[in-house]
Amino acid sequence: MRAKSLIAAATLASLLGGCAALVPPPPESPEDSTQQKLAELERRLAALERILTSGMLIDLMEQADDLQRQSAEIRGRTDTLEYEADSMTRRQRDLYVDLDDRVRTLEQNQRGQMASATAASIVSALPVLDGTDRQNYEAAFELLKQQRYEAAGVAFGQFLVNFPESQLSDNAQYWLAESHYVTDRFEDALIQFQVVLSGYPRSRKIPDALLKIGYSNYELARWNAARTALESVRDKYPDTTAATLARQRLSRMSNEGN
């Protein structure tokens, strides 16, 4: 009986302990919550005090100041380099302009000297100002034979100014045009050969001038104008050397497909 009583007591104690475990703890009071918050704040404040005491914040501030100073120095150097680059560019541009001006001046002086030399050679080759028209014509023609074509062209042009009524004027006009043709100035040659046709319609130089008009247009790839002039020489002056040359050039044009 006593044993049964002990067992019953133990069982009752176990059941009471289980029930106690199932009961929730009492709720935390507002006073306890406030105390926890104050404790957290005190903990964080203590951490900040330790940081200040150790000098870590001061070191960070000094590092930030150093970075700002370095950044300012870099900006200053960058501005200096940009200014120096701009200055160098301006100097190079000024030097180029100055060099270009000097080269242009030298070229102009050289052209002036060449023109003066040409004029001097013409004056020395021509007879004195009171010479006859034939003397002037022969002097200009001598320049042409020497292949001094520019000087010859100037001399024949001067002849036409000084002796417009000379019987040699048509020849002088033709050789003026020829001096342009042999130096490949075909546009100028065309103009001067046309003057032979319009200014001296009875000249013996008409067939030759018309032939060279055809040749000049040929060189300028003006095929229709070239063919018209050459056919005119062939048809109007059939027994001349100019007509023979015109037929040869017309045949050449046909072979070339022009």
**Which residue from 250, 243, 239 is spatially nearest to 217, judged by alpha carbons?**
250
pTM above 0.75, yes or no: no
Structural contact between residues 139 and 125, judged by C-beta atoms closer than 8 angstroms: yes
For the chain, which residues make up each domain, given as ranges?
58-125, 142-255
Q: What is the dihedral of CA 181, 184, 188, 192, to 10 degrees?
A: 0
Q: How far apart (Å, rounded) are the C-alpha atoms in residues 82 and 74?
A: 12
Residues near 127 by Cβ (< 8 Å), separated by ≥ 6? 135, 136, 139
The structure tokens 């007879």 sit at 127
Q: Name the stretches of the chain with pLDDT < 50.
A: 2-13, 15-16, 18-23, 115, 119, 122-125, 127-128
Inter-residue long-range contacts of 46-55, CB under 8 Å, 24+ positions, other chains counted: none
**pLDDT number for residue 39:** 81
What is the CATH number assigned to the segment(s) 142-255? 1.25.40.10
pLDDT digits (tens, 9 = 90+) for 14-58: 544 544 444 455 555 666 778 887 888 878 877 776 766 666 656
Structural contact between residues 237 and 208, judged by C-beta atoms closer than 8 angstroms: no
**Which residue from 179, 236, 239 is spatially nearest to 212, judged by alpha carbons?**
179
Q: What's the half-sphere exposure (Cβ side, CA atoms, 13 Å) at 73?
A: 6
